[in-house]
Amino acid sequence: MQNFKLSLKRRTSGKAARREFGEQDLLGVVYGQGLKTTPLVGERKSVSKVLDEAGTSHIIQLVVDDQPPLNVLVKDLDHDPVTNTLRHFDLHAVKKGEKIDVEVPVELVGEAPAAKLGLVVHQLIDALEVRTDPAHIPEKFEINISGLSEVGDTIHVSDLSVDQNVELDEDLLQQPIVKIDEIHELKVEDETAEAEAADVEAEHGAEGEEGEGEAEAGDTQDQPEESTEAKA
């Protein structure tokens, strides 16, 4: 497992204090059991790089000013919805032996024979939440899909090989992680095209009927009226 290190400074909190920092500064907090919530600040580029690489399943050794290092996990990252720029981060300090809930990414490996047959490999779960101590956090769960060849072939959470120190919610065990399905996209596209063609045909039909009605009305108006003298 990779070792990540991060050096940050303690900062004052509050809106007034935030005005002291510029675009090159990234603000965040660290908290945890027995630790008072501490506002932090660091250089945006370097901090973002460490947080992004560590993800939510790697321990980061955090040093705040000259204090003894803390083992922390990324708890939350707040990104700008438009630019996707990181705006704020939350770090959770963990103690040795303390059991914590953490999300572990799920990664597919191998090649499913089903894909060569034109079938769809659906990954239904991208990450799994587990409960464990910091020393036993899995870096990731690798799912070998090389045995999936037919429609309906499925790998469930219960099929994972999990360390005895890692706990999974029993309610998740029967959840499918990967499943082979037929391709439905073309059928949907064909149905949509047929529906659009029917709408166009109906629209042209309505215009034709309207045109015929106008023509009949015009013919009636163009016919000369018989004079009273002719009738006499």
- Give the domain extent around 32: 4-95
Instruction: Report residue 22's pLDDT band, with 50, 70 and 90 as the boundaries.
Output: confident
Strand ranges (E), 166-216: 167-168, 176-181
Closest C-alpha among 37, 49, 43, 41 to residue 17: 41
For residue 115, name the pLDDT band (cuts at 50, 70, 90): very high
The Cα–Cα gap between 129 and 101 comes to 7
Burial status of residue 119 (CB atoms within 10 A of its CB: 0-12, 13-18, 19 or more): buried
Q: Name 220's bridge partners.
A: none
When mean pLDDT is compared across 138-142, 154-158, 216-220, the lowest value belongs to 216-220
Q: What's the confidence (pLDDT) of residue 17?
A: 61
The tens digit of pLDDT for each residue in 123-137 reads 999 999 999 998 899
Confidence label for 228 from pLDDT (cuts 50, 70 and 90):
very low
Does residue 193 form part of some domain? no
Average pLDDT over residues 185-197: 56
Same domain, 126 and 77: no
Domain end (from 154, 181, 208) = 181
- The answer as to whether 232 is a domain residue is no
d(CA 18, CA 40): 11
pLDDT tens for each residue of 47-70: 999 999 998 889 999 999 988 999
Instruction: Provide the CATH number for the domain around residue 88.
Output: 2.40.240.10
Q: Which of 74, 95, 116 is the last residue of a domain?
A: 95
Residue 29 inside a domain? The answer is yes
Same domain, 83 and 54: yes
Is 221 inside any structural domain? no
Q: What is the pLDDT of residue 96?
A: 84
Sheet with 176-181, edge to edge strand ranges: 120-123, 176-181, 154-156
